[in-house]
Amino acid sequence: MQNVSTCLWFDGQAAEAAEFYTSTFGNSSIGQVMPGPDGNALTVEFEIEGRQFMGLNGGPAFTFNEAVSLVVNCDSQEEVDRYWDALLAGGEESMCGWLKDKFGLSWQIVPTAMSGLLNGPDPEGSRRAMEAMLKMRKLDINALQKAYDGG
């Protein structure tokens, strides 16, 4: 069993969020749902790709902000596009691969190739890739590689 898990605070949307997240990611499931005094879910336990989460319907007192984000590492542009489009539905895009989903939770959709481009053996190539990334919303692996290569 995992020692540390993440609790996400929602305003009555914990069950909806758990359904959304588990339908977006493979190897995901919803676990125990604890009802609250009003009969709706107070907490919803769910798992995404082996990570444990709990959604808590805590009310409007607290909201998400960019100080905390979930990172999705993607091996291909197809994965970047799929997760970007799914999580962005009803949300808002930001810069450099960041977005907020329809619940206000921040996500970073990051190609695994980013590390090699931003920390590559060619410092000028890395600088060019960084400059290209800073102009992007959804990250484009081919465009980043082209910038790194000097094209």
User: How far is residue 73's CA from residue 68's CA, in Å, rounded to a whole number?
Assistant: 16
Confidence of residue 2 (pLDDT cuts 50, 70, 90): low
Greater confidence (97 vs 151) lies with: 97
What CATH number has the domain spanning 64-151? 3.10.180.10
- Whether 102 shows a pLDDT value over 80: the answer reads yes
pLDDT band at 1 (very low <50, low <70, confident <90, very high): low
Q: How confident is the model at residue 87 (pLDDT cuts 50, 70, 90)?
A: very high
Query: What is the distance, to the nearest Å, from the Cα of residue 149 to the centroid of all Cα atoms in its chain?
Result: 28
- The whole model's pTM is what? 0.94
Q: What is the pLDDT of residues 133-146, one digit of tens each?
A: 999 999 999 999 99
- Give the pLDDT of residue 151: 80
Q: Do domains 1-62 and 64-151 have the same CATH topology?
A: yes
Determine the CATH number of domain 1-62.
3.10.180.10
Domain boundaries, the chain: 1-62, 64-151
Distance CA(5)–CA(45), nearest Å, equals 10
Rounded Cα–Cα distance for residues 75 and 137 (Å): 18
Q: Which helix (H) or strand (E) holds 109?
A: strand 106-111
